Structure 1
């Protein structure tokens, strides 16, 4: 903890040195309050010793007194500008405060004193990466590993660089190498957890986040991610416990409050859920488009003397669900500009002729940033403004309007499939993160495909002929490939197909949203712990009155709910 001094005077104050010794000893025992007193006294006795300022700063930093620590690191450096420990610790402190350029200055000054410091190269590398100076980042991280091939933090940071380059497998390789070192950094377990969760392995992510927290128990971000992973695997009570522990230390942490909101909403507690739902948009950040626009957030009241901008975010299913509230904004007398994914532009233009619909681009199209835009909101934010009570959900018969020409065309095509009801079927999701928990195998649906008097049309993304042909060898002759399989790129085709069908049977994904938004009958297979807007109980959806929800009783068991779907179809009950 101590460092050598380059004092110009030959003899240090003996009393100050004794205070230093006691302070260091107390700090090693985590008695920081008494250590602080001893070191403060040492500095007062001998203010010209850089070591005393440095050690006092160390204790202040451990106590969470960042400003005091910074001040004393700087005073140590004013006494000895080559005091590497002060340079490095000040750099770390500034990094933690997101003052990256200032931190870089300290690390470069330390390298000028001694170029053989892998930790300095690693720190500069990660700073450069954050500042989008990728070539410099790679140079410094390579330098760190050349000096110390088993330096775990540098290996981890090389993984972050690979992830930034879009090389997810390489990133996981670097993270794994970091965990295999003698002193593995907690960050490596955290990053592996993030990678696992993105890939749909929330169960694996839970263990990795716990490994990270064992090494950095006060890291709120790791605890917030653990809570999210626990929600995904269905351990809601443990997720709430983790959120509670983390909120004790960080009651205003946005990710924790967002997760708490999700849990409350999932359980149907609208008041408690929407109380913290808005934290996501409390300030603009990189993950949403709010920062692209200058207008203040909409408060839900009628906008006077200007127009309201509503912009979409998240997945296509979220955009379809939230589009159901655009009509409320228009009905209240607002002049609305809708910024949306290119695939929704014609559909929304047809559905909301009173609004101006523009393509979502960066930078935004001129109508989205026009001077008469006086309020803005993400459509994902609209539920907290317009659906705060159960009675706020309308009993609509559909709010999206498909292309009537394409609907007629698909209806003719489906009529040629043979006699019986024409029902769309979707059984799997390609979403890397959430798809695995709600996807099934096509062969799981044999009880449904065996229902007489039904012609099923695949609503799966992409060509699925191989799976369908395989079932034909088993005697299934009433499942047909999608006539326009590229429906991911052509959501107008999907809307027209669903409108042309008699009903839809689907997992909880875009087909369910589109079916409900069109007001078509549908049976939706809902996983045990779904996204919050499906809620965790009930057979009906307040968002989509035409849908019936068939819920999974327990994780991984699809047999029972699929059997219930087959029974519902057999009794000619495609929706409630």
Structure 2
């Protein structure tokens, strides 16, 4: 190597960036076409934070040495940092032809594919890179990133742990490990790791966002707000920070402040769909459905919706006549959302200008329930299946805005579902003087928030008030029944709940449901069955902040935590309602 370039490399490795530039400049004066000098000039400019100058240097080097694979790798990595992944991928294709088993090429190719939203394609080159260099950080880290992008955090976790073990001070592998922990319902561990990462990189607003998200998931709402406010004091033009602050403030119940934070994000980027969705949540919680629904329509542009819902090759529907065309009503989110939206299908099918054919996309476990219990004259499509050719589509919950729902007016019929009586009938026979049969659900999804409550005090309350209790719980928390005192006599109906039609049939034999915010509560409301709905202190947008009744389901009565985590307060309110004779026979 040219002695000047050898000196420059030593100086650069020692962190003396400005000193390293001098011998490189001297080498280029002697030979302006030396690709190694241009390579080093690019490395020096990149280390100094001048991406444009570094790119120019790498490009000049490749102009005289197009077959220099290491130089192409460097330029590809820089292009990725500059957000130009397609160009990086083109460089890497050339580099792969020159060095097909070069782990850095394969690893960088995988990184480029992840950045382009093609993580599935990234797996093969990253696995090959890791096989070639099992002790290198980059292949393990990038493979973990790809698996995270594919929502496979359990597989990503050991890879990211390995990357952090090999580079314990590296920022991004630790941040991605924290994200895997958060997705595996370990938000406390994620927050602990992110505190250390943010201390090492205090200027990284994205790390503050990640820490705030982990804290929010762990229930540390006030600390989440504090982290975001401190970060935004340093970086007030960081739009994502304002979006995240809006979400955190919603959890505190400060809806006006949440709306103002979303507005700050939209002042920076008027098309920010996440900001509009968070503002929608704040507005709907404040019973402003008109503006809230208008904002909520933008959810289809967020990454959270684009990942699970493939695009449809038809325009969105705004109510215009479709003639002989087919309308696709897109099912979305959870079973409860789809049950809630199903009320609009009969209304839609009765419109004078209704489309010739309406197809409702929904979870397969709803198909029998809707086919047997909903008078709508529609076709059903299982979520994930390719739709038929359609003229237009609309999100199922967007029908609420089209129908004119407000916080005080429900312009469609409720109840709107029917169920067959249970066969065989529910057992055992009711005791003399008993109040009736009560269905109980105490646990639901843990993400984005755990809505579950403790079983034993709730079951004991219901039994003490004279109810025969039938457990309608499915999933891991069904196992809680094994820990109940035998004397409570709670009857496990889990084996009868094959699909939602079967669940509805069991519920048709009940007098009351007591449930946390789950699909069973929505089903009770859709059937017109009295239901005590147990809510977090800051619930989902549709339940508002204070009311004990809801326009969505007249048969529901809402019992709220008085303070975050205070289920005892909600249970006491249920006990008082029972003592006052609710629900009436």
Name the TM-score, length of structure 2 as normaliser.
0.74
Is residue 309–residue 338 contact of structure 1 (8 Å, CA) maintained in 2? Answer: yes
Aligned residue for 2:473?
460
Task: Mark the runs of 5 or more structure 1 residues left unpaired by the alignment.
Answer: 7-22, 29-38
Q: Is the 8 A contact 1:401 1:518 kept in 2?
A: yes
Whole-Å separation in 1 of the counterparts to 2:50 and 2:537: 42
Distance 1:344 1:90, change over 3 A: same
Residue number in structure 1 paired with 2:439? 424
- Check whether the contact 2:205–2:241 (CA below 8 A) recurs between aligned residues: no
C-alpha change, 1:244 and 1:434, in structure 2 (3 Å) is: closer
Q: Residue 389 and residue 54 in structure 1: after superposition, are their counterparts in 2 closer, same or farther (change >3 A)?
A: farther
Alignment of 1:490 with 2:490, yes or no, is: no
Q: Does 1:409 align with 2:418?
A: no
**1:497: Cα distance to partner?**
1.9
1:329, distance to aligned residue in structure 2 (A): 2.8
Query: Structure 1 residue 509: deviation in Å?
Result: 1.0
CA distance in 2, matches of 1:527, 1:65: 48
Within the alignment, does 1:441 sit opposite 2:454 as a pair?
A: yes
Aligned to 1:393: 410
1:480 — aligned with what? 491
**Secondary structure in 1 matching 2:416:** coil
Are 2:332 and 1:313 aligned? yes
Structure 1 residues 561 and 215 mapped into 2: Cα distance closer, same or farther (>3 Å)? same
**Deviation by residue 1:506-546 (Cα, 9 ceiling, x = unmatched):** 11111111111222111111123333333333222232222
Q: Does 1:137 align with 2:126?
A: yes
Structure 1 506/297 Cα, relative in aligned 2: closer, same or farther at 3 Å?
Answer: same
Shift of 1:175: 2.0
Deviation at 1:78, TM superposition (A): 0.5
> Could you say which structure has the greater relative contact order, defined with CA pairs below 8 angstroms and 6 or more residues apart?
1
In the alignment, is the contact (CA less than 8 A) between 1:308 and 1:376 conserved in 2?
A: yes
How well do the aligned residues superpose, as a CA RMSD in angstroms? 4.5
Aligned to 1:538: 547
Give the Cα separation in 2 of the matches to 1:300 and 1:63.
52
State whether residues 359 and 379 of structure 2, in contact with CA within 8 Å, keep that contact through their aligned partners in structure 1.
Answer: yes
- Residue 316 of structure 2 is matched in structure 1 by 297
CA distance in 1 between counterparts of 2:48 and 2:284 reads 38
Q: Does residue 569 of the first structure (1) align with residue 569 of the second (2)?
A: no
Query: Aligned runs of 1:131-280 on 2, under 5 Å?
Result: 131-132=120-121, 134-145=123-134, 149=135, 151-160=136-145, 168-209=153-194, 228-229=213-214, 231-232=216-217, 233=219, 234-235=221-222, 237=225, 241=229, 243-245=240-242, 247=265, 252-270=271-289, 273-280=292-299
Secondary structure, aligned partner of 2:440 = strand
Following superposition, the deviation at residue 252 of structure 1 comes to: 4.4
**Is 2:340 the counterpart of 1:341?**
no
Q: Where does the alignment leave 5 or more consecutive residues of structure 2 unmatched?
A: 7-15, 233-239, 244-264
Secondary structure of the equivalent of 1:369?
coil
Provide the secondary structure at the position in 1 that maps to 2:121.
coil
- Partner residue in 2 for 1:379: 396
- Tell me: CA distance 1:189–1:394, structure 2 relative to 1, closer, same or farther (3 Å): farther
2:508 to 499, 503, 506: 499
The yes-or-no answer on 1:526 pairing with 2:535 is yes
Q: Deviations over 1:327-347 (max 9, x none)?
A: 443343423221222211222
8 Å Cα contact 1:427/1:506 also seen in 2:
yes
Contact 2:346–2:375 at 8 Å: present in 1 too? no
CA distance in 1, matches of 2:310, 2:96: 40
**Which whole-Å deviations, capped at 9, do the CAs of 1:306-327 have from their partners, x for residues lacking one?**
2321021222122112223334
Distance 1:306 1:514, change over 3 A: same
Alignment of 1:321-360 (within 5 A): 321-333=340-352, 334-335=354-355, 336-360=358-382
